[in-house]
Amino acid sequence: MVLEALKELFKRDLLKLKNELSLYNSDTALWTIEQSIKNSGGNLCLHLIGNLKTYIGNGISTIGYKRDREFEFAGKSVDRNELYKQIDETIEVVNIALSSLSAEQLRDNFPMLIWQEETGMAFTIIHLHSHLNYHLGQINYHRRLIDAKTLN
């Protein structure tokens, strides 16, 4: 039951990520940074994709994803349709990985060391969902702030 809820929450919020990207009034706005805003919506999207494919995809399903964390924050002008495609792939990766887990495995340790010490599977998956929502909120604010400036 918990795994089904997690799958539903990840899918819901990754679809929200796609929607947020679609609401930017231009591709330029999606990649804009200025003043104290250090990450664009596009870069935060790349970061979320990389994070989930690395920790859920590689950690649980061993998909062999090669993360480029530097590009997540430095890359620019990735086509929105490519971002949508990557989000869809991430939804599938998360769904397959979480579908492969049993309720007993949720009581085990997460198979990858992310921080300095081992963490529980359930704790880590919930943390990854919280991380998704943290950055989803940043993207929402980024979009509204940048779009408001470009429309005036």
Supply the pLDDT for residue 148. 85
- How far is the CA of 131 from the CAs of 29, 44, 55, 105, in angstroms? 23, 11, 12, 22
Q: Given this structure, which CATH class describes domain 2-151?
A: mainly alpha
Residue 152 has pLDDT above 80, yes or no: no
Which amino acid belongs to residue 150?
T
Provide the mean pLDDT of the chain.
Answer: 95
Supply the pLDDT for residue 73. 96
> Mind listing the pLDDT tens digit for each residue in 59-109?
999 999 999 999 999 999 899 999 999 999 999 999 999 999 999 999 999
Supply the pLDDT for residue 149. 79
Spatial separation of the C-alpha atoms in residues 33 and 7, rounded to whole Å: 32
Q: Which single residue is written with the structure tokens 């579908």?
A: 99
Nearest to residue 57, comparing CAs of 112, 127, 14, 126? 112
